[in-house]
Structure 1
């Protein structure tokens, strides 16, 4: 898999530059940009994993939290600069749906086909369930309810206040898991992962991470410019592009990692990728984008559409019910996948 991504990077980055300079078709470049970003994201993930092993679990956890959704954050910032607030909010929705339903569903299904019954840390599952309920059902629904009686400036003020609280609680959650309660709820199978060898040295990992991040920023800026023409060509709405396309591209590398881990029966890691990434999006990426938008021309409120909210709340409730017993099987995975495709059809037809 690593060799394939390496080839895609060495082919995709030059093609992205050449195609941009020569003004190739937006549809062709959309495909090139998406494939290139997915390949670059895999390099970012591998370098972050190497740094996490070298630096230790505490700093490693912080690194993974920071760079886990870096690609989507970069794409969203450039989309905000273009005034595409609907695409940004839709991509945040898509990340929540994609992680909880598509990624977790594929992980449970593929792992469940090989192993009839898979277990993961039930204490982590219940801890994450509470945070998911808070982040999506409380922090996302409340601004929507209150915004109906507020003007635009007051809604922005409410969104900023909610965002600051979300970031503070997210940092507190990291402190809880990595410092005060590190190892308290450790699963028996987690000990065997402590003596890993990093793929790259510290210096090499930092260099690759810096270069990959810079390349993603360049390609993402150009990707955003193709949205309008691609939407008109295929009849896709901004909502569908954000919820399905941008969300899948921005999280593709870690999606693949979760499925591979499930296939290896490392369900603690697979579930942490799926649920942990969702928490990063809801409690860190979304509020950070709200604050960043204050310094750009377009201010983004933390107010989603009713279909987006219903879809996110439904996916959270379904994931909480399925994962709270600390076990999974292929049928539970199929149930999550079915929910994702039902919602994808709905967003396509909107």
Structure 2
């Protein structure tokens, strides 16, 4: 049923997006059309990556889903950079971290927990990811804010570029560690730790069709995202939303719709290794790859983007990281832990709305 709705949204939304752009329809109307169309396109990206995950395994499947899910946000952010909306870009990165760790993981744990009293996942991956989360969010994001207080703008940008290069290199090393040198080394010791993860399942689409759907959806998202960015100012004025709220909540939810849906579906099917890999893996990819890439890309535009967040953004991300680590470090979860993560997201959402 949901797939049919998304199909209708794509068939109607894509032409409407093109027609509305050419005819200059009101920004508020087009903002809604663009967002719904991107979410529908993201669902196709999610289904395509799920098909590839069945063929290639949970780790690569989770990585693919995180990558193509983040591709939507990366595209939106690049056009926002081009438009000089640095505040929205940084806020959307914050929103992605909060959304993945609190909303996506929270919904996944909650939905899966309503079917199963205990859901288990690879505790070694959880502990490995915990260290990377602390490094990526707390070390790499807090350090520029602290040091930049005694630096000029040029020195702050130089520091941001240096940190960005280190983050990208470490992220590539982390992938090499998990997928090559230590692939299969850290297996769950508790029986059933990946319950349901190895059940035989037929992919919805073959590899060729799945890749074609990914490519087509990505191109469509790129076109719509470019025009979505130009509606932010008017929409913000109409609804009384700040750049911070638009970036942290609206852009982050729309941009990460693909992995939101897929992670919840995986948890419902008790495939928690994939669900956790999507939620945490996507966060790491945002912090260690997407954010630094955007910093480096900003050097090509008139307005540079240093890796300096506001204190509300930093404190929210640090809190989300510690809460996620405390909940996931034992390798198991339940619906109440999911509800706790969602409650934290709601509190932060109210704060950013009122800020």
Could you tell me whether the CA contact under 8 Å between 1:54 and 1:198 is conserved in 2? Answer: yes
TM-aligned CA deviation for residue 193 of structure 1:
3.0
> After superposition, what is the alpha-carbon deviation per residue over 1:263-298, rounded to whole angstroms, capped at 9, x for unaligned?
222211111111111011001110010011111121
Distance 1:190 1:171, change over 3 A: farther
Distance 1:98 1:209, change over 3 A: same
Distance 2:62 2:101 in 1: 20
Distance 1:56 1:110 in 2: 22
Distance 2:42 2:131 in 1: 29
Alignment of 1:203 onto 2:208: yes
Could you tell me whether the CA contact under 8 Å between 1:43 and 1:208 is conserved in 2? Answer: yes
Alignment match, 2:7: 6
Distance 1:327 1:55 in 2: 24
Alignment of 1:36 onto 2:37: yes
Question: Aligned to 1:140, what secondary structure does the other structure show?
Answer: helix
Alignment of 1:234 onto 2:212: no
Alignment match, 1:307: 312
For 1:241-260, what aligned pairs fall within 5 Å after superposition?
241-260=246-265
Could you tell me whether the CA contact under 8 Å between 1:109 and 1:332 is conserved in 2? Answer: yes
Distance 2:242 2:272 in 1: 36
Distance 2:5 2:344 in 1: 31
> After superposition, what is the alpha-carbon deviation per residue over 1:292-346, rounded to whole angstroms, capped at 9, x for unaligned?
1111121100000000000000000111111111111122111111111111011
TM-aligned CA deviation for residue 157 of structure 1:
0.8
Alignment match, 1:349: 354
For 1:271-290, what aligned pairs fall within 5 Å after superposition?
271-290=276-295
Distance 2:169 2:54 in 1: 26
Distance 1:191 1:348, change over 3 A: closer
Distance 2:129 2:185 in 1: 15
Could you tell me whether the CA contact under 8 Å between 1:9 and 1:36 is conserved in 2? Answer: yes
Question: Aligned to 1:170, what secondary structure does the other structure show?
Answer: helix
Matched positions, count: 350
> After superposition, what is the alpha-carbon deviation per residue over 1:212-231, rounded to whole angstroms, capped at 9, x for unaligned?
11110110011000000000
Distance 1:160 1:254, change over 3 A: same
Could you tell me whether the CA contact under 8 Å between 1:57 and 1:178 is conserved in 2? Answer: no
Using the TM superposition, name which of 153-162 and 255-264 deviates more.
Answer: 255-264
Using the TM superposition, name which of 234-243 and 176-185 deviates more.
Answer: 176-185
TM-aligned CA deviation for residue 58 of structure 1:
8.0
Alignment match, 1:319: 324
For 1:1-350, what aligned pairs fall within 5 Å after superposition?
1-53=2-54, 63-64=64-65, 66-187=67-188, 189=194, 193=198, 196-350=201-355
Distance 1:175 1:129 in 2: 18
Distance 1:205 1:115, change over 3 A: closer
Distance 1:120 1:237 in 2: 38
Point out where structure 2 has 5 or more consecutive residues left out of the alignment.
none
TM-aligned CA deviation for residue 121 of structure 1:
1.0
- TM superposition score normalised by structure 2: 0.94
Could you tell me whether the CA contact under 8 Å between 1:37 and 1:249 is conserved in 2? Answer: yes
Root mean square deviation, CA, Å: 1.8
- TM superposition score normalised by structure 1: 0.95
Using the TM superposition, name which of 326-335 and 69-78 deviates more.
Answer: 326-335
Distance 1:34 1:283 in 2: 26
TM-aligned CA deviation for residue 204 of structure 1:
2.3
> After superposition, what is the alpha-carbon deviation per residue over 1:139-176, rounded to whole angstroms, capped at 9, x for unaligned?
00001111101111111111011011111111111111
Distance 1:241 1:35, change over 3 A: same
